[in-house]
Amino acid sequence: MSAVHLEPLLVGTPFEDCFIVDYDALYHGNNNDPTLLLQKLEEASNQTDPIIIDKTSEHLHDEHSYLEGGRDSDLSRDASHISGLNKLLEEYKIKNRCVVFDNTWNDTHWHTWGIKHIAGPFYIWNYIIEQRLKIPAWNHNPSKHFLCMNNIHKSHRQQVIERLHHDNCISKTLWSYRNTCDSQVFTSPTYIDQATGKFDQTANLNDLYNDCFYTIVTETDYTDKNIEHITEKTLMAILHGTVPIIVGVPGAIKLCKDLGFDMYDGIIDNSYDAVIDNNERFEKIMYMVENKSAEKHLDKLRTLLPTRVLRNQLLLTNRQYWFDRIMHILFDKSKLLN
């Protein structure tokens, strides 16, 4: 993804004439060679217009490694030499003239570093454009209670799969763990989709989601209470009509509700979302999963959902809705240009 998705959103807004540094595309592209990104930052330093740092295809993950680092003297070999956005903005003397656009719905870390920041549903907008989302078919008669797909190893993902085994819920779960991890409880890698070839995370999704009632969404991040966000993992659970149980940072459910989604209160207890303590939140989530595993007649439960499911699907695929939300944010935040 690159500024090609952001630029059309800026037309007619106070941000229209800003110079854009498509940070994510340049940081992750070009075979991990940071040269192009540094060239773009150098170019930005010579601009008189305000500057947008386009991070609309990413989120703030690890605050310290992401914001504290900086530029190494060797700029040609490894993108890990660029580990700190804050340091780069200071080194190129553009910090006071730029605004970061990203998908982290909390300003805490940005305020700490004195970086102007705009959060918006840019990730959803990019995902709609990239994936050309369409409402998938929906099965009233799933055979499994839960779906839990895991690609990259994370400690909270390993803990979820181990707990599903320990609580005897695993037989009611379609699950994968595509990376190898050191577990005494389960074997990895374990696949339910593609075991060979280049992994396509969009393949086979309809078949997998259609065969379960709940999705245990092991999100990218779990521990930091100040980086509310959701990724395509949550979005796909919503699009495919499952009831999401989000193993993620505090506030993820609230964020989904604020964005307009029905998070199925009355079917699941979403109060875990407000629990800040990571261990306590995890226990509350897994206790609910264990109780839900005792449910019978999933087909009858599923027949209660079509209207709620369709509303979420229509919302997620509605480009005009997300465009209007972004426009409202951009005009509301125009004061950041001063």
CATH number at residue 302: 3.40.50
| 187 CB-near residues (< 8 Å, 6+ apart) | none
Q: Per DSSP, what are the bridge partners of residue 265?
A: 268
Same domain, 122 and 63: yes
Going by pLDDT thresholds of 50, 70 and 90, the confidence category of residue 172 is very high
Tell me if 178 is assigned to some domain.
Answer: yes
**Is residue 182 assigned to a domain?**
yes
Are 125 and 148 members of one domain? no
Q: Is residue 139 part of a domain?
A: no
Instruction: Sheet with 243-247: list strands edge to edge.
Output: 173-175, 144-148, 212-218, 243-247
How confident is residue 134, by pLDDT bands cut at 50, 70 and 90? confident
* Residues 238, 110 within the same domain: no
- Give the pLDDT score at 208: 92
Residues 61 and 18 in one domain: yes
User: Are 9 and 103 found together in one domain?
Assistant: yes
Q: How many residues does the chain have?
A: 338
| Domain extent at residue 88 | 3-132+319-337
Are 156 and 253 part of one and the same domain?
yes
- Co-location of 175 and 200 in the same domain: yes
User: Do 258 and 205 share a structural domain?
Assistant: yes
- DSSP readout, 50-85? -EEEE-TT-----HHHHHS--B-S--SS-GGGB--H
For residues 148 and 265, state if they share a domain: yes
Task: State whether 166 and 107 are in the same domain.
Answer: no
Query: Are the CB atoms for 245 and 285 separated by under 8 Å?
Result: yes
> Taking all residues of the chain, what is their mean pLDDT, rounded to a whole number?
89
Residue 299 counted as domain residue: yes
For the chain, the domain total comes to 2
Instruction: Give domain status of residue 158, yes or no.
Output: yes
pTM, two decimals, is 0.91
Encode 7-19: b = buried (16+ Cβ within 10 Å), e = exposed.
Answer: eebbeebebeebb
Per-residue confidence band for 229, with pLDDT thresholds at 50, 70 and 90: very high
Q: Say which residues have a Cβ less than 8 Å from residue 338's Cβ, sequence separation at least 6.
A: none
Q: Is residue 138 domain-resident?
A: no
Looking up tokens 């599903």 gives 164
Give 207-221 pLDDT, tens digit per residue: 899 999 999 999 999
The string of pLDDT tens digits covering residues 51-97 is 999 999 888 876 555 666 544 433 333 333 345 888 899 999 999 99
Task: Say if residue 280 is in the same domain as residue 173.
Answer: yes
- pLDDT at position 198 is 67
What pLDDT does residue 32 have? 62
Q: Say how far apart CA 213 and CA 208 lie, in whole Å.
A: 11
Indicate if the pLDDT at residue 34 is higher than 50. yes
Residue 253 lies in a domain: yes
Whether residue 75 is found in the same domain as residue 189: no
Q: Is residue 172 domain-resident? A: yes
DSSP code at position 46: T
What end-to-end distance do the CA atoms of the chain give, in Å? 28
Per-residue model confidence as pLDDT tens digits over 307-316:
999 999 999 9
